[in-house]
Amino acid sequence: MISLRSLFHRQAEPLMGLDISSSSIKLVELGFMDKSMPPQGLLNNDHVADPSHWVLERCAMETLDRPWVVDGHIEQLEPLAEALGRLLQRCGTTTKRVAMALPPSSVITKKINLPAGLNEAEMEAMVQVEANQYIPFPLEEVSLDFCVVGPSAASAADVEVLIAAARREKVQDLQALAESVGLDPVTVDVESYAARRAAWAAIQSVPFNGDPPMVALLELGATTSSLQVLRQGEVVFERDQAFGGAALTQAIAQQFGFSPEDAEARKRKGDLPDSYATEVLPAFLDSLAQDVARALKYFFTSTPYHRVDQILLAGGCATLSGLPQAVSHWVQTPAAVLNPFAGMALGAGLSTAVGTSMGSNPLHQRQAPSFLTACGLAMRRAA
């Protein structure tokens, strides 16, 4: 049985990132070139996120006709397993080891201080005792993981330890899904951690002029959008919000009299009447950008911070043309679309594996922002 124990362990062998979300399953597989890498134990975020170490071997997506996963809870395993099976068959991968993730709302994380110099077993015992205080359900129902972050700022005799806990049934649901199609689930991560990992290179390259840079990373999904704000690379705010592209699908269905399924498929393919670009899209872009502005306003009012320097947009909605402009306008802050594959080499099989049925523009180019979390999960191969 896997547990969140695997969350902080490094994975060197081939590994696929699988993002099981409400509107689709996304798969990313990265090759790892460890040419100039330090020994495994010394890898840091900058090394892992450096795109020159990665080759994009596979990226593919299977859309779901119903949201079989809601808030990290698998409502029906069978249709999800069928969709995952189709996706694997289409990509033709032989890799079995997979990394998956739970949404941040399903995982409790907490930093604690423990005496330095404990061995693994002693530390595990102390983590269990500490975890008891923070976790609102019995420990036997919980999957627990921890890692030493570094020396404690409070005391030289202590180390800072990050603990993570999730309901065991949620971890087991993911495990059951993977195993039902013959995969080996080796890692359960947190979606926002994975997104951050894949965005790290872009976050680090935001220019700054003396003050620590503040970067807002927004993953705009179908029904949920995740905002995290990083100050000089450290997370100072994280919150999921209930808005996303499903509202645009609904507007399209209403305007043109399509069924919701038809509206969604046409939206993704770009197969919509001409008046969509003038009568439907602009209003949605404004409304989405205002949602983003509200989310950031909440960040400003609930934290000591009063600015962000750059907004990075990802998720399926970030592929909508005109979105960065609308967000920049409403938030009065530069906004750009984030491509998690930027700077990576492309594997030989990529265009045939993912580009054929989707027109001339390969999926990895057109929909790159959708793969942020899946890409960060695939990076667990070296992270």
Can residue 369 be called a binding residue for Mg ion (CB under 5 A)? no
Can residue 104 be called a binding residue for ligand ATP (CB under 6 A)? no
**122 to 71, 129, 196, 230, 235: CA distances (angstroms):** 34, 11, 31, 33, 29
Q: Do 59 and 378 touch, CB atoms closer than 8 A?
A: no
Q: Which stretch binds Mg ion (CB under 5 A): 16-24, 152-160, 207-215, 328-336?
A: 16-24
Q: Looking only at residues 214 through 243 of this chain, which bind Mg ion when binding is defined by CB under 5 A?
A: 221
Can residue 246 be called a binding residue for ligand ATP (CB under 6 A)? yes
How many residues line the site for Mg ion (CB under 5 A)? Answer: 2
Q: Determine how β-strand 107-115 pairs with β-strand 158-167.
A: antiparallel
Can residue 21 be called a binding residue for Mg ion (CB under 5 A)? yes
Q: Do 353 and 92 touch, CB atoms closer than 8 A?
A: yes
What per-residue string of b and e applies to 102-124 under the rule 16 or more CB within 10 Å gives b? Answer: bbbebbbbeebbbeeebeeeebe
Please state the closest distance from residue 366 (CB atom) to ligand ATP, in A: 6
Q: Which stretch binds ligand ATP (CB under 6 A): 120-128, 204-212, 239-247, 293-301?
A: 239-247
Please state the closest distance from residue 69 (CB atom) to ligand ATP, in A: 7
Smallest CA-to-CA distance from 300 within 229, 251, 360 is with 229
What per-residue string of b and e applies to 216-237 under the rule 16 or more CB within 10 Å gives b? Answer: bbbbbbbbbbbbbbbbeeeeeb
Enter the tokens of residue 294. Answer: 């509200």
Please state the closest distance from residue 127 (CB atom) to ligand ATP, in A: 30
How many residues line the site for ligand ATP (CB under 6 A)? Answer: 22
Residue partners of 153: CB distance under 8 A and separation at least 6: 160
Site string for ligand ATP, 250-289 (x = CB under 6 A): --------------x--xx---------------------
Q: Which stretch binds ligand ATP (CB under 6 A): 22-30, 119-127, 164-172, 353-361?
A: 22-30
List residues binding Mg ion (CB under 5 A).
Answer: 21, 221
Chain positions contacting ligand ATP, by CB under 6 A: 21-24, 221-224, 244-246, 249, 264, 267-268, 315-317, 319-320, 367, 370
